[in-house]
Structures are given as C-alpha cells and as structure tokens.
Structure 1
Amino acid sequence: MKRYMPLILLGFLFTVLIGTALAQDMEANNKQANDTEAFQQALEQDGFTVQEGELAYFDLLKLLEEGALPSAYGNNPTTKYLIYFVPPAPGYEVDEQISEITSTLGVSGNLTPFWNLRPDEAVVFVGRTPPECRYFSYDHYIMHRTYDNERRWLFANIADTVNNLVIKSEGTPDGEPGNPFNQTTVIIITADRGIDQRIRAAAQSAGYSDNITNIQVLPSVMLNMGLENDSDTFAAFVRPALINDTQAEENYINNTPATVFRITPNNTTELDPYDYPELRVRGTGQTEFDLMDDLEDLRVAILDRYNESNATELPISVWAPVGTDAIQRGINVLGPNNDAAYLWTANQTISSPTPPFFDTSEYYPFLRDPAITLGNDSNESIIVYGVNHVATGKAMYSNFAIYGADTWNGVRAISDADFSGSAEEYLPDNPNAKYLYAYKLSRNCSEDDQYCYEVPYGQGAYGLELDQPFFIGFRIYLENSTKTGPAYSEIVYDRAIKFDPMSSGNMSS
C-alpha cells in the first residue's frame, strides 16, 4: 500500500486542483453573466433596445465544403476566425442566402454575420479576450457596398485593429502593458460619439470600468450608414492565432465567454459622428536588407541540392492592399488587416471588383495560367524560403500557406514556430542562417525531411488535388515596436521554387 501512496496523493492533488480551477471558472462565468445582465438593464433604462447576438467560428473551409460559399477566400489556417452574429435591426429579417451560412455553422435564430447599422446604433462585444496566444485582434470590415446600382463585395478593413498590444482590458487597463489574455473587455463599434458615451456610462454602472472599454469607429465620412438596400454592410471578426493550449483554444472557439449586443436608441438623437481615427504608423526605419546576400546564398544552396530537377522560381508580389484602397476603388481585397503585410506567389496584386459571394475560380486567371500543380512524384516539391521575420524582430508571428488557385482554400499554414532553424542545414557555416528559413512542401516527405509538410489530396476543401493549380500566400503579423503591421519597404519578400522531375518542365531561374 505504501508504494502506491505517492500516486494516490498525486491523484488527490490533481483532483483538488482541477476542482478548484472548475470552481474558479464557474465563479468567473457567473460574475460575467450577472455583469452582462446589469449592463443590458442599464442600457434599456437609458432608452435603448438591446438585442443579443452571439460569436461563432466562421469556418470558411466548412462553408466551402458544404456549398454555402463558392470559395474559402484565402482563409488563414493558423487562425480560427470568430465572427459576430448580430441580430438585424428591429423589424428586419435575415435574407435566405445569409440564413444558409448561419445554419451551416450551427447558428440558430434571426442572426447574421453581415449587418447594416444606422448612424446612431452600435454593436458591442463584452466578455473575455482569447487565451494566451501569439496574436489576437478585433477588427471591423465593410463587406458590401453599392456602386452605381452594382452591389460589390469589398471585404475591406476600415481602420486599425484592437490587438493584444493595444487592447484595454482588466489585465491591460488603458492599453498599458500587462496580460491581455483571458481578460474582461468591452469593445464598442459605432459611428456616433454620443452613443459611445451613453454606452460607456451604462457599462460603468454595471461595473465595467471605462479604462477597459475600447472604441472601433465607423467613420460616417467614408461610409454609407443606414438600413436601406444600398447601405453598406459590415462585419466584425476576432482573430486568435497560435493559442498555446489546444484545449483552451477548443473551449474558447466553441463556447466563447462573451456576448454581442446590437444597441438601438428608441428615440431619435442628434448625431455627433466620429471623424476618421488616427492610425498607428508602419515602419521603424530598420530593414531586413542586410540579409540579401545571405538569402542569395540560401537560394544557391537550395538549387544545388535539387540540381537533378527542373526549377521554376515563382513570382512574388504584394497580395492584398489595405481596406481604404478597396473602399476608394470599389475592389475586393479579401479581408486584410492593418496588423499584417501580405505576399503571394503571383505577379499582380488583387484588384478586381466582384459581386457578393463571388466565385474565385472566375477571377485572377494569372493564378491558373500557366498552371502550377503539385503531383505525387517523389522528385516533385516546392521549397519555400526567405527571411524569418520573427527572428529579425519585424513580426510577432509569420506564416505561409498553400492554396488552391480556384477555390482559395488554405489547407495548412506553416508558421515561424515550424520553420525556425530550418536554413541551417543549407548554410551550416553561416551565422546569419538563424535569420532565414527553408521549408519543403511535397506529397511524399521522407523520414529525413524534418522541415517538410505532406500536402493532402482526395479530401475535398481540406486538401489540394494533384491537378489543382495552387499559389502560396504569406502573412507577416504585427511589429512589436509600432503595434501594427511591418512596412513593405522594410521587409525582404519571401520566395518559393517549384521543382519538377527532369522529364518535364523547363529550367528557369
């Protein structure tokens, strides 16, 4: 019996700790529910109609796989996007196509991920931020706009994010440094100063300090606010990336400890619209260009290693411009945010005006002609390489993902956590190899390929077929010193080389 006593004590201690944690979670959830109810009551007493929405995982691959959307629109596989599902304005209903999206995602009731807003209304998030992770942000978008009677999909961010470096929360009051993860916060989306102030007063009366309350402005000067058919349509996302604990991620995504409200004044009020907000400025003056010679050495080493194959060096350019560019030109930019720089293996930046829920297979033919595919020959592969932007200090995380060039389905993202140290096997004597990376994409990774991902096929939207043209998209997220995305003028662009068996293709370099 004595020999088992330590195990019994350990099991008892584990049970006590788990029980304590569960009790603390239950207490926190009860407090949140009580505070939220008090907040809603305070708003109603101030003359608002308050409708409750919810947050849910906006699973673009599932929506594509089940036919609710014709494309995954360049999803970031590192991030499980949460989207605000908002009730329509009082007296309005959700249209049939939107209802198909909500039902596919398991969201019930009269809620929509894409919503109109009167200039005196607001949408409010109240609850807890994501668990500890490399990056999170809250961002708001204009999804649709009417140009000369033509309804277009813009998917354009409006201003800066509320990210983990700037958020006001219980752990980071007034946006000061601290712990931003799993903390209570309030985020108000509105076009009107007066409505913002009234909501803040109601929040304070319910126990939410003003120094944990954030504003995301809808600048009326550049938006078409209102509920009419030609009014702009909006959306709001939460982007948690690389959450440390898998179970914590699952719990947060599937049962987000937060509430979304649509808040409508019962009586007309004199409008006091916000101006366009001041933006955080990209760039520090420090660049990555001192690594160009080292990157060329890495390129040569890669070509030498695979010299029995034909090499095609893929083009590279900026993938998506900022949202204000899209709004001014009426083009679709597929959901960028100001915290990132975006690159892709193409020779043009996206710039097409598109209808709502457009089919990406009908646009951007330069991604498919000439077609770059990935077969299952053991000598066929892609080497993605470049500067490790996290190692240089230009990003808090970076990744790349392979996409079908027709449905823009991102199967998996390879992040800096996966490729850190990978260039040293090509450049063993170069001290700057730690600032570079080289990673292989193949259908057949050997046991010796430590830095290799086997791209799946035969799995619908969750894979890439053998004859399906592809492109690679890169994301470089959040420079710590500026609290926004790195400047394109200061980063060295990532690269990729496609290798084919000698029997096919032509050598290019």
Structure 2
Amino acid sequence: MIQHFLNRPRVFLALAATALLVTPSTTAAKAASAPHLKASPTASAASDGQRPGDGTDQQVARFERQLARADYASQQGSEEVFILNQKYCTGAVFSAMWPNPQSPYIISSLPEVPGQAPNTNTPRTWRIRQDEAVVLIGTTPPPVEYFSFDLTMLKGSLPVGPVLWTSVGDPVNLKTIHTRGRTPYSRQFALVITGNRRTRDEVNQMLAASGLGGATTDMTIPPAMFRLGLEAGTDEFLLGIRTSVPKAGFEQALEDYRATPPLQVFRVRPGSGAADQTQPVYQPDPLRVPPLRTSGNGENELNLNPTLQTLRQRIIDAHPGYDVHEEVVQRGFEESYPGLQNNLVIDPPTTGVGALSYDADDPITDNISLPDGSFAVAYGTNHVSTGQATYSSITLNADTKAAVAVEAKDNVALLGSARDFIPDQKNADKFYAWTFSRADNGPTGPHVTQLPSTTTDFCAQYNGTRSVDLSTVRFVARAYMQPDTLTRPALSALLLDRVLVFTPKK
C-alpha cells in the first residue's frame, strides 16, 4: 500500500474555460503500484436528476484536492473557437483546408511544460510526456444533430504548411460519451487523454472521487503509433470539439456554448519537484491501440439509384438555356492511420488525410470553374433521411489553395428540396437538390443560394487582406455517424453526391 502523498499548494482554477496538465511525482512511494484513491462518500457516479447546464465547479474543486493529495502537478489552459476561414484571411494558417462552416472547432490550448522543446503551433498543439494526461471537465453541448470530441495529431507549421493532420482513433461522440444523466446534452462529463495505463487509472480514480466516475470517458494516444515526449521531434496533438446544427429551439444555446465554452481542461502529471519537468516519473506503461468502430450495417442506398437518375434528368430539363457538365464526389481524404503511415500531408489542392474524423465520410469533387453568370446544382440522397448518417451536409469551398468555405447546407435545410424537381416520386424526401448561383437571371426560389460575385473581397468580412479566387470551387459532401454503428457510414453503401454545373450557351 502506498503511503499518503504530501500535500502540495493548490492550483487555482479559474471559473472561466481553462485547461490543466497533470503529471506523477518521483517519490519512492510512486515508484510502486498505483495509489488506492478512495472515492468521497458523497460522490455520485451518475446523477440522472442533473439539471441542464449545471456547472462543474464543485467537481473541479474536488478534483483539484485529489491532485494535491496525489502530488500531481498541473497547469492551466484555455478554450478557443478556431474559425479556419478567419485564420486563413488573417494569415494564421496557410490554408483553410476545406472547413465545415457549420461546425467551427472549439480547441483546447495548453501551456508548455518547463524545460520542454517549444511547440510548433503554440498554444494550439501540444506535446505530452509519456506519463502525462490531459483532462477535460465540463458540460456537453446543447441538443444538436451531432457533436464530438476529436483528438488529432498535427505535424508541421499551420502558418506555413503543408501539414500532416490525422485523427487519433475514434472520436468521442454524442452516442459514446459518458455523462451525468440520461441524455448526452448539457450534462457534466470528463475526458481523460493519455498513453500511460498507470496514469489513466490514477486519474480515473481521482475523477471518481470527485463525483465524475460514471461520467468519465477515456481517449488513448497509443505509443505504438505516436511518439510521446517533450523533446524535439516528438508528436504534437490537438483536441477539437465539433458541434453541428442545433435542434429546433436551441440555436441561441449553441451560440452561447461556442462563445463561452463551459469547459476546464487540465494538463496533469506526476510531480517531481524539479525545475525541469520534462523527464517522466512513471515507467512506460503503454496503452494498446484501441479497436476502431466498424462502418457499415449491411444496408445501403443503392436501390434508390433509379430515382436519383430521374432527379438528375429533371434538373437538366429545367434549365434548357445552359450547357451542362457533371461532377461526382470521390474519396479525397485518406483514413488517418493509413495516411499517417504514408505521410499524406495536406497541401491544397492535395487533400492528404485532412483531419478526417473516423466518424465521417467526406468525399469531395475536383476543382470546378464557376464564373459569374453560371450556377451549380448539388443533388443526391439526404443521408440522414436514408438512415445512413446522423448529420450530413454539402459545402461549397473556393480557391485551389485557400480552400475556404463559402456556403453550406445541412440535412435539415436540404429536407424536401428535391420536391422542386420530383414531386411525383414517393421517396422524394430521401433526396435533395440545392442550387448555388452566380447567374443574374438564373434560378430563384427557397432552395437557391445566391453566391457573391467572383470579384468580391472574401476576406474583408474577417478584416483580412489575403485574396481568394471565388471562381474556382470545390464541393465536399459530409456524412457523419451512421446511427447503428456509431461511426462513419460505409462509402460503398452510399449513392455519391453529384454536382451539375450550368453555364450560358454561347
């Protein structure tokens, strides 16, 4: 049995969104087996009676006391909404990399450990000692179509590029997260990110003693695939939160959540008391690569192809005064672990891995010319209506290198839009058709988005000065989390989204 650790000065935790890093101590006691950390008799593993929006201040205070008892060091961090369009326009990133404008990342930023090699993209990416953990405590998003916590590895400079940006296993999403309550929305939770089994077990015990035992979810950085450590050349990581499309009546709640994320993130490590904290205290105890959720439930959309072809012909017939050519989305982003092994970097127009979530299929078109006077009609199956996704969307991006997002429509907005062309088809609501237009006398109606002219200064809205070629566009069709498998739908089960480009006949 390990003796009681000496108390350390308590670390102040701001009530605003903050992050802490925790590490183990070098005392002789800690060289033995993990300490037996008893849960507080008042701690509750789950509380179904929790009110939406209840804060986590009490649990954070208890966790802070547990850290002090265990002689763990900790550091504060912060939360930031990271809008890639804005970051590109202001010069912070070399490319926006085809972002989803409906789901700007909320990113956990962490300070550096004293003595470590500087991070490449401070404070957004961070190195992690092999016996460290990153702990996120907070409240989950309000009711949305989809949310997830995505742990990624990012190698390279965001301002200069190119970058290798890969997912670290499956994300934690609204169906896999543990919370204090029966619903995943607006509930207390904790995430533990580490590659060390002993550290994970100790931190989990501390969270249980703090009242979050039944609301804690583990995320693994497997040392078999990633290089952990604080010296130069080790991998750097980024934790981002996706929040896509509020349920009806929760639009303002989602805006408030993004504006002031109710999250506190901790960097924690066994404390050594030394000024240089880069050396591990615990011996390596590597966690294995977790199994990935398997995509595909045996169902598919392919029997809907006859209606898809009818929809295609009706769209063409509705615009006789134009020449038309067609683009079909294709697999553009490689899965993360194959992409990691092959060093498939993002360097637009090269897509590489593109931080593709294991919860998503993100097929993409080639770059397309869409000059003033022309329009494009994106059409296909509504993957949510067919049961193949929880959230889906079509996004129009611009510029071969900048790859900014100009417009996006989600499955809720797209529902019913195909009836403009196939009202006589019984399965019309399993399809969509949306027009993105630069034609002065082109299509009009509720399912038409009028695009800015190609001469528009795109970056002016962000007070940026970089140029964007709006005449060159690229479409991304997103399909997130098949409900039965809780991961991406099998691409072979989907009818691929398509784009018809109409230009005036000469």
Alignment partner, residue 449 of structure 1? 445
Alignment partner, residue 129 of structure 2? 118
Alignment partner, residue 85 of structure 1? 109
Query: C-alpha distance in 1, partners of 2:202/2:116?
Result: 25
Aligned amino acid, residue 46 of structure 1 = A
* Cα distance, 1:200 vs structure 2: 1.1
Equivalent pairs counted in the alignment come to 428
- Which of 260, 265, 281 is the equivalent residue of 2:265? 260
- Which of 347, 369, 374 is the equivalent residue of 2:371? 374
CA contact (8 A) 1:283 1:482 kept: yes
CA contact (8 A) 1:170 1:185 kept: yes
Alignment partner, residue 495 of structure 1? 498
**Structure 1 residues 297 and 406, CA gap change in structure 2 (3 angstroms):** same
For residues 377-416 of structure 1, what are the structure 2 equivalents within 5 Å? 377=373, 380-404=374-398, 405-416=400-411
Query: C-alpha distance in 2, partners of 1:231/1:75?
Result: 27
Aligned amino acid, residue 142 of structure 1 = M
- Which of 167, 174, 179 is the equivalent residue of 1:164? 174
**Structure 1 residues 322 and 466, CA gap change in structure 2 (3 angstroms):** closer
**Structure 1 residues 424 and 400, CA gap change in structure 2 (3 angstroms):** same
Query: C-alpha distance in 1, partners of 2:441/2:83?
Result: 28
**Structure 1 residues 53 and 445, CA gap change in structure 2 (3 angstroms):** farther
* Cα distance, 1:301 vs structure 2: 0.8
CA contact (8 A) 2:136 2:263 kept: yes
For residues 8-19 of structure 1, what are the structure 2 equivalents within 5 Å? none
Which deviates more from structure 2 when the two are superposed, residues 241-250 or residues 86-95?
A: 86-95
Alignment partner, residue 199 of structure 2? 195
For residues 321-400 of structure 1, what are the structure 2 equivalents within 5 Å? 321-332=334-345, 333-346=353-366, 367=367, 372-375=369-372, 377=373, 380-400=374-394
Percent of aligned pairs with the same residue?
27
**Structure 1 residues 392 and 410, CA gap change in structure 2 (3 angstroms):** same
Alignment partner, residue 356 of structure 1? none
CA contact (8 A) 2:53 2:186 kept: no
1:181 aligns with 2:158: no
RMSD: 2.3
For residues 2-41 of structure 1, what are the structure 2 equivalents within 5 Å? 28-29=54-55, 32-41=56-65
* Cα distance, 1:318 vs structure 2: 0.8
1:154 aligns with 2:191: no
**Structure 1 residues 94 and 27, CA gap change in structure 2 (3 angstroms):** same
Gaps in structure 2 of 5+ consecutive residues:
1-49, 273-280, 346-352
Aligned amino acid, residue 206 of structure 1 = S
Query: C-alpha distance in 2, partners of 1:64/1:152?
Result: 14
* Cα distance, 1:448 vs structure 2: 4.3
Alignment partner, residue 44 of structure 2? none
CA contact (8 A) 1:116 1:231 kept: yes
Alignment partner, residue 145 of structure 2? 134
For residues 200-279 of structure 1, what are the structure 2 equivalents within 5 Å? 200-208=204-212, 210-244=213-247, 245-267=250-272, 268-279=281-292
SS of corresponding position for 1:274 = coil
| Residues 162-181 of structure 1 deviation map (CA, whole Å, 9 limit, x = unaligned) | 1001110112xxxxxx3100
Query: C-alpha distance in 1, partners of 2:268/2:206?
Result: 12
Query: C-alpha distance in 2, partners of 1:280/1:27?
Result: 30
Alignment partner, residue 426 of structure 1? 421
CA contact (8 A) 2:77 2:109 kept: yes
SS of corresponding position for 1:221 = coil
Alignment partner, residue 507 of structure 1? none
Query: C-alpha distance in 1, partners of 2:309/2:142?
Result: 39
Query: C-alpha distance in 2, partners of 1:62/1:467?
Result: 16
Structure ranking higher in helix proportion? 1
